[in-house]
């Protein structure tokens, strides 16, 4: 990355204001390293209805409440940490975020949605993904219920 901010992008729909919101956040919060937002969720095959997925502050002792495609972070975070690449069936961003927290990087978010995430649009092996995440969470000292993944 050549810029100072790394922005996660998935194949979802982003609102026009997303880029400005990210830049403004990092300008306003010089001591914050990771940014996340609320998002709108839409179920595949339903183009009309959507609901809000709040941007919950994470206590880092439970399952990650941050939606992956809303994340942006400073380049310094990217230089310090790597994403775990253990599966093609799931991204393991929450462990990147746990590592960022453990290294002292600071988080901040907003309840203003920056995107629409489409649910139910995947051919991934959900059961193996849940098992892998549950195992990794335990390695971080976080017990979760497999149904919570």
pLDDT per residue as tens digits for the range 87-140: 776 778 899 999 999 999 999 999 999 888 877 755 666 778 888 889 999 999
Give 17-63 pLDDT, tens digit per residue: 999 999 999 999 999 999 999 998 888 777 778 888 888 889 999 99
At 125 the pLDDT is: 61
- CB 122, CB 91: distance < 8 Å: no
Quickly count: other Cβ atoms within 10 Å of residue 72's Cβ: 23
Report residue 7 as tokens. Answer: 């922005």
At 69 the pLDDT is: 84
Instruction: Return the DSSP state at 25.
Output: H
CA 73 to chain centroid: 11
What span, in angstroms and rounded, lies between the C-alpha atoms of 64 and 58? 6
Burial of 139 (0-12, 13-18, 19+ CB in 10 A): exposed
H or E segment at 117?
Answer: strand 115-119
Instruction: Return the DSSP state at 12.
Output: S
Section 70-94 average pLDDT: 88
14 against 38, higher pLDDT: 38
pTM of the model: 0.86
């Amino acid at each position: 990355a050549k810029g100072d901010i790394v922005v996660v992008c998935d194949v979802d729909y982003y609102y026009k204001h997303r880029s400005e919101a990210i830049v403004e956040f990092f300008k306003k919060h010089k001591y914050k390293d990771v940014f996340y937002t609320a998002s709108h969720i839409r179920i595949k095959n339903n183009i009309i209805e959507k609901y809000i997925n709040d941007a919950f502050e994470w206590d880092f002792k439970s399952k990650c409440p941050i939606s992956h495609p809303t994340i942006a972070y400073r380049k310094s975070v990217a230089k310090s940490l790597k994403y775990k690449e253990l599966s093609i069936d799931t991204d393991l961003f929450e462990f990147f975020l746990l590592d960022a927290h453990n290294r002292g990087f600071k988080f901040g978010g907003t309840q203003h949605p920056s995107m629409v995430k489409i649910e139910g649009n995947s051919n991934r092996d959900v059961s193996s993904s849940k098992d892998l995440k549950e195992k990794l969470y335990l390695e971080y000292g976080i017990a979760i219920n497999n149904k919570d993944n």
